[in-house]
Amino acid sequence: MDKTALFEVIQSKTDLQEVLNQIDELIASLYQQKDPKSMPEAFVQLAQSRKVDLNNPEQAESFFLGLKKELTQIPQLGLTLAFAPSKEYITALSNWVHTNVGKNLILDITVDESILGGTTISFNGHYKDLSLNKALDEEYQNNRELFTGRLKAN
C-alpha cells in the first residue's frame, strides 16, 4: 500500500483524525513490546513499501512521526452539507474530488442544516457558497419587486 492507497483510506478529516489517533497509540505502544501484527494493515504495507522495520522502535517512531506530519499537511477541501452523509456518500464525494479536482485531498465535512441543501466549499483560503439557502435568498432578492407589486395592486 503506497501513499495514495493510504489516502484512499483517509477520505475525510474524521478519518484523518482517527488515523492520527491510531498513530499516536502506535507510537505510544512501540516500546511496550506489542505484537506488530496488531498494527493496521495499511500502515504495515506503507512501512514495507518504504522499507521501514516496524519491529525497530526507533525506525517505527520515525516512520510514524514522518507519516503524521505528511498526513497533517494534506490539503483539505471543506464542504458544508445540509445532511449527515453516510460513509458510502463520503466515499462517492471523495472519488468525485479525486477524479475531478485531481489532487489528493481530504474532505473536511461539516453538517449544517441551515444551508438547506447544496454545499459550501472552502479550498486554499477561498470560499464559495453553492447552498440552496443562498440560492433561495438570491431568488427572493431578484423577485422582491414582483411580490411588492402584486401586493400594492391588491
Partner 1 sequence: MSDSIFTYAILADVFIIGMLVMVHEARAKISALETKISVDETNFQQLLKGQQDLIIKGVAGHLQRITTSVLSNYQETLAKAVEADLSVFRQSTAELEKAANDEVQAFKNTLQKETVDTQRDVAQKIQETYTKAQEEIKKYRDERIGEIDQHVGEVIITVCKRVTGKVLPLEDHQDLVISSLQKAKREEFF
* Residues contacting residue 105 through CB under 8 Å, at least 6 positions apart: 74, 75, 76, 77, 97, 98
For the segment 60-79, give every residue that binds partner 1 (CB under 8 A). 79
Rounded to a whole number of angstroms, the minimum distance from the CB of residue 108 to partner 1 is 14
Contact 120, 80 (CB under 8 A): yes
Rounded to a whole number of angstroms, the minimum distance from the CB of residue 136 to partner 1 is 6
Site string for partner 1, 107-146 (x = CB under 8 A): ------x--xxxx-x-x--x-x-xxxx--xx--x---x--
Q: Which of 24, 21, 120, 44 lies closest to 79 in space, CA to CA?
A: 120
Q: Which CB atom, from 32 or from 86, has the smaller least distance to partner 1? A: 86
Rounded to a whole number of angstroms, the minimum distance from the CB of residue 85 to partner 1 is 8
Binding residues with partner 1: total (CB under 8 A): 33
54-92 b/e (C-beta count within 10 Å ≥ 16 → b): beeeebbbebbeebbeebeebebbbbbbbeebeeeebee
Rounded to a whole number of angstroms, the minimum distance from the CB of residue 121 to partner 1 is 6
Backbone angles phi, psi at 40, to 5 degrees: -60, 145
Rounded to a whole number of angstroms, the minimum distance from the CB of residue 79 to partner 1 is 7
Rule CB under 8 A: say whether 87 interacts with partner 1: no
Neighbours of 122 (CB within 10 A): 15
Name which position in 38, 55, 100, 142 contacts partner 1 (CB under 8 A): 100
Name which position in 48, 56, 62, 148 contacts partner 1 (CB under 8 A): 148
Distance CA 25, CA 76 (A): 24
The x, y and z cell numbers of residue 69, run together, are 506530519
Name which position in 82, 91, 98, 104 contacts partner 1 (CB under 8 A): 82
